[in-house]
Each structure stands twice: as C-alpha cells, then as structure tokens.
Amino acid sequence: MDDLRSLGMAIRSGRLSPVEHVDDVVRRLAGDPHNAVVALDAERARAEAAALTEELTQGRWRGPLHGIALGVKDLIDVAGMPTRCGSAVLADAPPAAADAPAVARLRAAGAVVVAKLHTHEFAYGPTGDVAATGPARNPHDPTRITGGSSSGPAAAVAAGLVPLALGTDTGASIRTPAALCGVVGLKPAYGHVPAGGVFPLAETLDTVGLLAGDTHSLAVAWDVLDRAEGTGGGIQPPGVAGVRVGVPMDDYWRPADPVIADAVAAAVGALEKGGARVVELRTPMIDELAATYPVIVGAEAYATHAAWFAERPGDYQPATRARLEAVAGLSARQYVDALRTRRRLVPALRAAVDGVDVLVLPSTRLRATPIGAETADGEPVRPAMLALTSPFNLTGWPAVSVPGAVDGLPAGVQVAGVTLEERGVLRVAAAIERSPCA
C-alpha cells in the first residue's frame, strides 16, 4: 500500500477515489492473516467513502486525511461498534453511542474508520499475545509477538492493511509494537489528546496516539489530530542542525540485544552528521523512578477492574488474571507513596537532562520474541518491552519510536522530547529515518 502522503495526493488529484481506496483496504482487512482485525465495518466505511467521493466532485476537500482509511484500537470507542478491549469480560458490550473525541477529530477531517483492531487484553501488557481472540502475529514473522498493547494497529500498518491507525500508550503500548513491527509510533505529551471514550488502564498515564508507516505520514496525521484546523501544514522543515541530542549512558537504558544498540549508535551518528550536538549524560534516579510505574498502573488498573474481577475472574485471560491478582493487595499508602516519588523524581530527571532538546535511546531491550515466551536469552520479556518507554509516561513527555537500521527483525529507536514537542521529536525521527544507514 502507498504511504499516506501518496494516497492523499492521489485522492485529491482524482487519480484515486475514496471509494476505490476504501474498497482496497476492506479487501485487505478481510484477508488479514495476522489476527490484527477484530471487527470490520465494511458497509458503513463504503458508505462514508461514497459520500467523501461525492464531496470531492463538488470541490470540497477536507484535507490530507480526506477519504483515508483508519484503523482504531479496540480500546477506543467508535460509534455503532462495541468496544471489547480484547476481553471476554466485554463479549456482550453494546455498540458505543458516540465516537471518542480522537476518533471524531479524525473522522471530521475525512478519515474513514474501517475496522477495530486487536489489543492486548484491557491494554494490560506490552506483548500483544494475550486477548480473548488470541495473539496478534508479527507481519515479519508470524510466530513472534507484535508488541502491545496497540498490537493490531502496529501489525495492520506494518502489513500494509491500513495506512494509519489510532492507538493508546500507557507505558509502551504504541512505541513498543511500532518498534517490533517496524513502523513509526507517536506517544504525544500526556493530556495533549483527549482520552474520553477510551477504556482506562491507568488514567494518570493513558495517552492517545498514532501509528503510521513513516514519519511524514505520522506528522501529517498528528497535525490533524492535534488541531481542529489542522491540515497537515504544521509539519516542521526537515533537518536537525543545532538540535541538542542527549544519549543516556546508565546501565538501565542498555538493550539486551546488541543489534538494537548498534541501531541506536547509527541513529546518533546520523544525527551528529546532520548537525546535531550529541551529549552523553547520566540519570542516577532512573531506577527509583521506574519502580513507581508498576505500582501506579497496578493500583489504578485494579480499581477499574475490582468489581468485575470479584464477580467474573474466569472471564479474564490467565495472564491478565495473574497480573490483577498480584496487585490486588496494594495499599492506598503504597499508591500514594509511588505518586509522591514520581512527583519528586520527574523534576530530578528533568534537571539531569537539562541542556538537551531530545533523548535518543532504544525503544525496547529485545526485538520481537516468540509468542508466549516469558524469557528470551535469559531476559524477562515483559520488562524488556516496557522498561525503556515507561519513564516517558511517568514524565508525560512526548516520544516516538522510529525504525532503526537493522537486518532481520525490526528494532526501534526512541526519540523523547525534553524541550521539543511532538513536531520536534518527529523532525528528529525523520532525520533518523532518512539517514543512509536507516
């Protein structure tokens, strides 16, 4: 499938109609071999595409997403479709009464929702292989995980089934599947996109974001999602001359897979060659800060699920059930202590990286592991897929995962904004993507 930019230009010029594009996407989704699709909304998508095609004949163009097919993670409400969150607990969920605000914003800009996409059950996991509908499968190797919890969005984009997908990220859930599937995933700054109509995992961390096949496509879609008047024109000019790039050197940030380390080193080298100033730095508080994450998420997730979990524990997948059981005993004091530690250490981390605009580091410690594996090369899988992304949910900073230069299974390079906002981190990611070694 063409990238979003090419599709948008073809639709605007009349070389491709929204009807033709959506028909093609629906056909691809119907034959999905990756278990990325949980519900296809073909009839309504075709009707919307027909209406958008008619608008073009009348000279009305809504912008770069006019007639573009959009997949939505099944944690996010789409009017007329149930939100089942990958769980048998919500097997009988009624259709949502309204679109989530993020969906409504993209739909108003001309995007056509074609399907709800796979999610790790209730978004409570970074692997994407735990759901009532079975595991999502990585398009690069169907025996391996996609990463999670935005498993379906990453797999669908990577497989060329959709050009754009909407997901969520509480600790890893956009960037990790983007890294493992070889696509671009943006976690905006916390609170930048309304989280209404999104089933919560941990409300103090949950963030709505996007996945696409390349940085330009994602930047166009972000401009539309970010601003009611967004038209894709808010993309910054390319180049990183003068950007201050921080590379954290603590053991905490090191990947277990040397191929990932090489990809990050190549990305940093490309940025330096492009005029960025590279600074190595230390973050001595990172282990203590990261330790607050499972407590905060565990306490907030259990508060959401406590009633269902007491009444219907058997409707949860075994892995999710085990995680909820493990946090059931967390006390209010432990939760408040974790929040206070977070509030104390986020400014300390900010001070430690003062003087740089972005951090560049791995997205994950491992590349895609076999479905169901709990360890790989002696490394616990779940922490390996979560540890390097979750600190930027705790800080609330924007971060993007962009494919690094590797042979074989994809690896992600993460760009986290310190002084730069979403457009800035995407500009840095684009320089990594365009470098000859990527």
- Catalytic positions, written as ranges: 73, 149, 173
Strand partners, 207: 169
CA distance 19 to 243: 43
* Both tokens assigned to 133: 């509908």
Smallest CA-to-CA distance from 3 within 47, 68, 61 is with 68
CA distance 218 to 5: 10
Smallest CA-to-CA distance from 213 within 156, 135, 264, 149 is with 156
Smallest CA-to-CA distance from 68 within 58, 83, 53 is with 53
CA distance 196 to 228: 16
Q: How far apart are the first and last CA of the chain?
A: 21
List of residues 6+ apart from 227 with CB closer than 8 A:
234
CA distance 144 to 20: 33
Instruction: Work out the angle at residue 208's Cα, subtended by the Cα atoms of residues 331 and 225, and round it to the nearest 5 degrees.
Output: 155
